Amino acid sequence: MSKEKEKKDPKMEILSWMGTACMLGSPYLLSYPIGYVLGALGVVLITPACYKNKQWNLVLLNASSFIGYTLQWLELI
């Protein structure tokens, strides 16, 4: 038996690619506040795809990253 291929959600794909773009740019801008904002935004945008694919380790990693980027942006750590 072969699994039926799931239909791809175009909105989720676009959000995932936008999140990936944010994540690609954020490390180079971490000396500025926008780097932390892009990092937090990037992990928020890629998390739904990880959740849909039941990649719980990445969901947890993204949650932790979001908290860290947000705390850095707010200058709490």
Tens of pLDDT, residue by residue over 3-28, are 556 678 899 999 999 999 999 999 99
Cβ-contact 44, 20 below 8 angstroms: no
Cβ-contact 45, 18 below 8 angstroms: yes
Cα–Cα distance for residue pair 46/6, rounded to 1 Å:
18
Range of the domain at 17: 10-73
Residue at 34 is within a domain: yes
Confidence of residue 1 (pLDDT cuts 50, 70, 90): very low
What is the number of structural domains in the chain?
1
**28-65 burial by CB neighbour count: b if 16+ within 10 A, else e?**
eeeeeeebbbbbbbbbbbbbbbbeeeeeeebbeebeeb
Residue at 52 is within a domain: yes
**What does the pLDDT look like over 31-77, one tens digit per residue?**
999 999 999 999 999 999 999 999 999 999 999 999 999 999 999 99
The token duo for 38 is 């892009």
Residue at 5 is within a domain: no
- Predicted confidence at residue 3, as pLDDT, reads 56
